Amino acid sequence: MLTSHPKTVTYSPAYTLVPTYECFNRCTYCNFRTDPGKSPWLSLTEAETRLRSLQPQGIIEILILSGEVHPHHPHRPAWLQRIYDLCDLARSLGFLPHTNVGPLSIAELERLKSVNVSMGLMVEQVTPTLLQTVHRHAPSKVPEVRLQQLAWAGELQIPFTTGLLLGLGETQADRWETLEAIARMHQRYGHIQEVILQPYSPGQNEAWKRSAFSAEDLIEVVGAARRILPEDIVLQVPPNLIQHKQHLIECLEAGARDLGGIGPQDEVNPDYPHPIDTRLADSLRNAGWTLVPRLPIYPQYDAWLSGALKAAVERWRSLLQPPTSLTTS
C-alpha cells in the first residue's frame, strides 16, 4: 500500500507519446481517434528528438497511448513492434514507460511487460447496454474483453491502472457493478494500483454531444469507490476535467488521492488542458493539501520488475526521497 500523509495528494510528471491516432473503434464520445490509414505513425527518430528535449524538464513517466489496430489486421505486428520500440527508447533515455493501447493478447501483454514499469486499460463500464449506444461500433469495448485484460495482467504480475468513464448513459447500479468487478480482480491478483474516475467531458471532435458528467455526481462516485474498492487501490481524478477548485477538494475529501499524469496536453481530452503543476500545488496548499510527484509504479510492485526496469525505478526513487512539495521558485 502507498503510504502518505493524510493530506497528501500525488501526481505523475508525464509526457504522452502517441504511436498513431488511427483506431478501428468508433466510440461516439471520442475526441482522440482518426480513421485507419489517416494518422501517420510516430517515427522513432521523432520520438527520440522529443524525449531528449524532455530530459531536463523533470518528466518521469512516458505514457504510450495509441489508437487500436484491429487484432487481425496485417499491420498489427508492426504496430506492436513500434509500441515496444518506443517503450524501450523511453527507458533507455532514463524515463519510466507506461503503456495504454487497448486490449492486447496475453502474448502481447507479456512482451510489453518487459519494457514497461506498469500498464493500463480503462474498463469504462461493465454493462452490456452501452454496446447498443455509444459502443455500438466499438468491438473492443465488450465488457468481457476488458475484464479479461485485467485478469491476464494479474496473471502476468503487471502493475495495472484501470478505471471508469462516467456519464456514458450507465446507471448508478452499473457504476457500482463495475467497481465491484474491479475489486474482485484485485482481490484475486493484487495488481491494480490505481482506479481512475473520469467524468465524461464534451469535446469539439466527438459525435455524441451530451452534457458533462456533473461534479456533484463525481464526488458521490469517489465516495462509493472508496467504500467498494480495497484500501490499497489508489483513487485518481483528473484535475483538468473538474472545473472548480472546491469540487476537486471535495473529491479529495471523499477519498481520491491521486491526480494522474500531468503534462503538456491531455491527448484524450484535448479541449481540457492540464493545469500547470506548480499552480495546482499552490491551489491545493491553500486548501491544506500537499502535492507531491510519484512514479508510474507504486512501491509495493517494485519486486515484480527485473533488470533495467528495476534499476531505473530505484534510481528515480532515490531522487524523489524524501518527497517534497512543489514550489513556484
Residue 88: the pLDDT is: 98
DSSP string, 89-124: HHHHTT-EEEEE-S---HHHHHHHHTT-SEEE---B
Contact 255, 285 (CB under 8 A): no
- Report if residue 320 sits inside a domain: no
How many C-beta atoms lie closer than 10 Å to residue 288's C-beta? 9
The DSSP call for residue 268 is S
CA proximity to 105, closest of 64, 70, 65: 70
User: Cα(97)–Cα(101) distance, rounded to whole angstroms?
Assistant: 13
Q: What is the pLDDT of residues 139-171, one digit of tens each?
A: 999 999 999 999 999 999 999 999 999 999 999
Number of domains in the chain: 1
Radius of gyration of the chain (CA): 19
> Has residue 89 been placed in a domain?
yes
pLDDT value, residue 324? 46
Beta strands, E only, the chain: 8-17, 61-65, 96-100, 118-120, 160-166, 192-199, 234-236, 258-262, 290-293
Instruction: Confirm whether 159 is domain-assigned.
Output: yes
* SS3 per residue for 25-78: CCCCCCCCCECCCCCCCCCHHHHHHHHHHHHHHCCCEEEEECCCCCCCCCCHHH
d(CA 266, CA 20): 15
Q: How far is CA 159 from CA 53, 61, 317, in A?
A: 28, 14, 17
Nearest-angstrom CA–CA distance, 150 and 158: 9
Q: Grid coordinates 492486447 are at which residue?
A: 104
Which regions of the chain are under pLDDT 50? 1-4, 323-329
pLDDT for residue 3:
45
- Confidence (pLDDT) at 325: 45
* Length reported for the chain: 329
Grid look-up 500531468 returns 262
Return the closest-CA partner of residue 260 out of 329, 196, 171: 196
Q: What is the torsional sign of CA 125, 128, 129, 134?
A: positive
Q: Is residue 3 part of a domain?
A: no
CATH number at residue 19: 3.20.20.70
- Residue 167: predicted pLDDT: 97
Could you tell me if residue 252 is inside a domain? yes
Residue 94's alpha-carbon distances to 26, 31, 324, in angstroms, are 35, 31, 21
Range of the domain at 58: 8-302
Quick check: is 314 in a domain?
A: no
In a domain, 326, yes or no: no
Around Cβ 101, how many Cβ atoms within 10 Å? 22
- Asked whether residue 325 is assigned to any structural domain, the reply reads no
* Cα-Cα-Cα-Cα dihedral sign, residues 216, 219, 221, 224: negative
